[in-house]
Amino acid sequence: MGTDAIETASATADAGDQHSGGSFAGSARRAVPIVGQYVVSIAVALGLCAILVSATGGSASRVFAALLDGSLRSPGAWGLTITTATPLLVVAVGTIVGAKAGMSNIGQEGQLLLGAAAMAFIATRLDLPGPLLLTVSFIGACAVGGLWAGLAALMKFTRKVPEVISTLLLIFVASQITTFGLTRKWLLLAKENTSRTNNGEPLPDAAKMPSLNIFGNQVSWGAVIALVLTAVVGVVLARTTIGFRLRMLGLNPRTARRFGVSAVGVGGGALMFSGAAAGLGGGLWLSGGAAGDRFTGAISSSIGWQGLLVALLAREKAALAIPMAFVFAGLRTGSGFLAATGVDRRIADVVQAMLVLALLIPPAIEALQRRRSGSGAAA
């Protein structure tokens, strides 16, 4: 009785509320310290960045002003930030689905690259009206990204290759494939390549994502697709039987197997979904216009990696991925303005990395607390 009571008491005090998610009072009570943690850790990161910038001869205030100008304040800036956030959000949402099912896909960069390649291949070959061409191209991008992740699923379930390793290594294969594709006109290379590097054919206008004009900001319609996808994924995970079975598989695969959840079907499906989302992210990134008007070998430019980070920082919550994707996109667009301040590009990268670390600290603290309360209950 005593031990039981101890378990109950310590779990109630420390961990119980974090799991339940049931009562509003509980979620409000724990939201306050978490917001506080974010504020403190970001403030500390900014302070350290200021010291670093000053020490290397720059002006900290100008650096932060440039970051804000680039991401939000200058004309049209936040529209560009939202357009950049779109593929990050789509990649992150797919990653969350995989993670919920216990699948650690970390090969989004490659899946996204191949998705963009598929989009470019289809869009430059089919002569279809705008919406139809986009739809077909996006389906192609999803299919290629999904099948690429499917290779990892195949290796996992037939040869027990951990998907963390296979998805990661498949990035390099994907990169080689697109590089080869850019050397052949029948694949990806432009008919008349004028650049010194091998680039793809410019997309036809029909394959460019239309934009919404909001207060002088061009916001890609892709953002709407990303938000709808996020909402659908959030609802499916929380409110449907397939979402329930997927979460069960991720939290306790043995219990899930006993109750008929197939690791191959549901787990493999979730892994392929995350690949398909990354592929779609590639399609949206290419058609959104922020990365130029044609496919290049460097087009993914870490969007896949950053989407993975967004999912990590959102702590597997689809809704939280929206602000996180925006913050990351802001850092990307904002750092474009840093060059004008005369600060070394590498210092700018350090600033960006420090802010990412700062965003990682509150979830890390939460995980530590949960583990500590867990071991306390065991004793």
Summarize as ranges the residues that interact with another protein (CB under 8 A). 1-13, 15-16, 18-23, 239-242, 244-245, 247-248, 251-252, 254-263, 374, 376, 379
What's the gap between Cα 152 and its chain centre?
A: 19
Of the two residues 342 and 374, which places its CB atom closer to another protein in the complex?
A: 374
* CB of 15 vs another protein, minimal distance in Å: 6
**Which value, to the nearest 10 degrees, does the dihedral of the CA atoms of residues 178, 183, 187, 188 take?**
70
CA distance 261 to 248: 8
Of the two residues 39 and 264, which places its CB atom closer to another protein in the complex?
A: 264
Of the two residues 64 and 157, which places its CB atom closer to another protein in the complex?
A: 157
DSSP helix/strand/coil, 34: helix
Of the two residues 261 and 310, which places its CB atom closer to another protein in the complex?
A: 261
Of the two residues 26 and 204, which places its CB atom closer to another protein in the complex?
A: 26
CA distance 100 to 96: 6
CA distances from 302 to 86, 111, 177, 235, 357 (A): 14, 12, 17, 29, 17
* CB of 257 vs another protein, minimal distance in Å: 5
Query: What is the full DSSP assignment across 334-374?
Result: HHTTGGGGT--HHHHHHHHHHHHHHHHHHHHHHHHHHHHHH
Of the two residues 244 and 305, which places its CB atom closer to another protein in the complex?
A: 244
* CB of 227 vs another protein, minimal distance in Å: 21
Element housing 180 (H / E): helix 163-181
* CB of 308 vs another protein, minimal distance in Å: 22
Of the two residues 75 and 379, which places its CB atom closer to another protein in the complex?
A: 379
Question: Residue 138: CB partners within 8 Å, gap ≥ 6?
Answer: 119, 280, 283, 284
* CB of 284 vs another protein, minimal distance in Å: 28
Of the two residues 39 and 238, which places its CB atom closer to another protein in the complex?
A: 238
Question: Residue 111: CB partners within 8 Å, gap ≥ 6?
Answer: 105, 145, 148, 149, 174, 274, 275, 278, 279, 282, 304
* CB of 267 vs another protein, minimal distance in Å: 11
Under 8 Å between Cβ of 206 and 128: yes
* CB of 31 vs another protein, minimal distance in Å: 18
Tokens read off for 289: 């216009």
* CB of 247 vs another protein, minimal distance in Å: 7
Under 8 Å between Cβ of 351 and 49: yes
What's the chain's Rg over C-alpha atoms? 22
